Amino acid sequence: MRIGELANATGTTTKTLRFYESAGLMPIPPRTSSGYRDYPSDTVHRIAFIRRGQSAGLTLAQIGEILHIRDGGNAPCAHVKSLLSERLKELDHQIADLLALRETVQSLHSASLTIEPAACAPNQVCQYI
């Protein structure tokens, strides 16, 4: 399968596929006699895995580690479980930070409803913040 066909089959671009290849996420494919990349059909599954990993918030380096373990003939499940556990902790932290930010913005917004804009002193940028 040529690179354009693979891009169409995976909903990505040829530029992305070349990047994945240069980043070591995909094995370098054999080339046809005319020099075109000739990807095996199972590459579609590998690209789908990479994209699912990205959707879960894993970095390309982390995805590369998983693929390296699998390519070495081992099941990467324990490593993936650890990565997902860490990702959940990161998400919980981000959610807590966002909730605190929301509370701050809500407080500022509530205060802005009771203060007239004309009451701003000339030496203030805005008294709402």
pLDDT at 84: 97
Q: If you classify domain 1-75 with CATH, what class do you get?
A: mainly alpha
Rounded to whole angstroms, the Cα distance separating 10 from 17 reads 10
Q: Is the pLDDT of residue 118 over 90?
A: no
Alpha-carbon distances of 37 from 11, 53, 56, rounded to whole Å: 18, 25, 29
DSSP-derived letter for residue 113 is T
Q: What stretches of 2-76 show up as alpha helix (H) in DSSP?
A: 3-10, 14-22, 43-55, 60-71
**pLDDT, tens digit, 9 for 90 and up, residues 54-110:** 999 999 999 999 999 999 999 999 999 999 999 999 999 999 999 999 999 999 999
Give per-residue burial for 100-119: e unless 16+ CB within 10 Å, then b. eeeeeeeeeeeeeeeeeeee
Q: What whole-number distance in Å separates Cα of residue 14 and Cα of residue 3?
A: 6
The answer to whether the CB of 3 falls within 8 A of the CB of 37 is: yes
Whether pLDDT at 1 is above 80: yes
> What pLDDT, in 10s, does the model give residues 2-61?
999 999 999 999 999 999 999 999 999 999 999 999 999 999 999 999 999 999 999 999
pLDDT, position 119: 75
- Region label for 35, one of left (φ > 0), alpha (ψ between -120 and 50) or beta (otherwise): left
How much helix, strand and coil, in percent to the nearest 5, is found in the chain?
65, 0, 35
Domains of the chain, residue spans:
1-75, 77-129
Check residue 123 and give its pLDDT.
80
